[in-house]
Amino acid sequence: MNAVLDLWTVLAVTAGAILFLAGTTGLLRFPDAYARLHALTKADNLGLGLVVLGLLPQVDSVSAGLKLLCIWALVLLSGATASQLIARVLLRRDTHS
Amino acid sequence: MTEFLLAAAIFVLAMVALGLVRILRGPGDADRMMAAQLLGTGGIASLLLAGSATGEAATIDVALTLALLAAFASFAFVKAHPAPRQDESAREDDA
């Protein structure tokens, strides 16, 4: 059982790290700001989510696990809201200048 | 498992540090803010990984604080770029 849980941790954390790699690559290589925003949100939501899911079997109390999930939920909410707001700033800049 | 988690934390941190090149290059304010947002999320991820590797429970609280601060940073950025002056031309919502 422990080996299975450890394997799950390794798989999920690796997938999360790869998404962070993809997010950075996108942020550096994509041609315009909207595409970069798209790359960023993938790294934000999925990368951190996979890391959190991978770490869940490693926590030693239920409250610590719940705290991890709370962090993910907070990042999901704030990331989604902030992306919308930043895209709106970009759109305003592009249409008014 | 400890070594793997620490290596993953360092990898995520290195990726985020690489993303900071976008702050140098710009070209716009929004691009720089996106790199800062990635720094926030990547910092949370590597804090959680390092905390799980070392068994230090306090890092989870630090990550929670960082999540809150990163959210406020983005909202402050948007507040610093208010909607253009209201004129008679058709105007979208300013929320």
Domain presence at residue B93:
no
Q: Report whether A41 contacts A27 (CB < 8 A).
A: no
State the complex-level ipTM: 0.85
Average pLDDT, chain A: 86
- Residue B70: pLDDT band with limits 50, 70, 90: confident
pLDDT in tens, A7-55: 888 999 999 999 999 888 888 888 888 888 888 888 778 889 999 999 9
Query: How many domains would you assign to chain A?
Result: 1
- Residue B83: pLDDT band with limits 50, 70, 90: low
DSSP structural state of residue B86: P
Domain presence at residue B68:
yes
- pTM of the full predicted structure? 0.84
> Which of the two residues, A94 and B88, has the higher pLDDT score?
A94
Q: Which of A9, B85, B72 lies closest to B94, judged by CA?
A: B85
Q: Is A29 on the interface with B (CB under 8 A)?
A: no
Domain presence at residue B15:
yes
Contacts of B32 in chain A (CB under 8 A): none
Domain presence at residue B48:
yes
pLDDT in tens, B13-56: 998 898 888 888 878 788 888 888 888 899 999 999 998 888 88
Domain presence at residue B94:
no
What was the pLDDT predicted at B11? 92
Whether A63 shows a pLDDT value over 50: the answer reads yes
Query: How many domains would you assign to chain B?
Result: 1
Domain presence at residue B92:
no
Residue A39, judged by CB atoms within 10 A of its CB (0-12, 13-18, 19+), counts as: buried
Average pLDDT, chain B: 82
Tell me if the bond preceding B82 is cis, omega within 30° of 0: no
Q: Is A22 on the interface with B (CB under 8 A)?
A: no
Q: Supply the range of the domain harboring residue B24.
A: 2-79
Domain presence at residue B88:
no
Q: Which of B49, B10, B91 lies closest to A56, judged by CA?
A: B49
Domain presence at residue B26:
yes
SS3 B41: helix
Q: Is B32 on the interface with A (CB under 8 A)?
A: no
Contacts of A37 in chain B (CB under 8 A): 30, 34
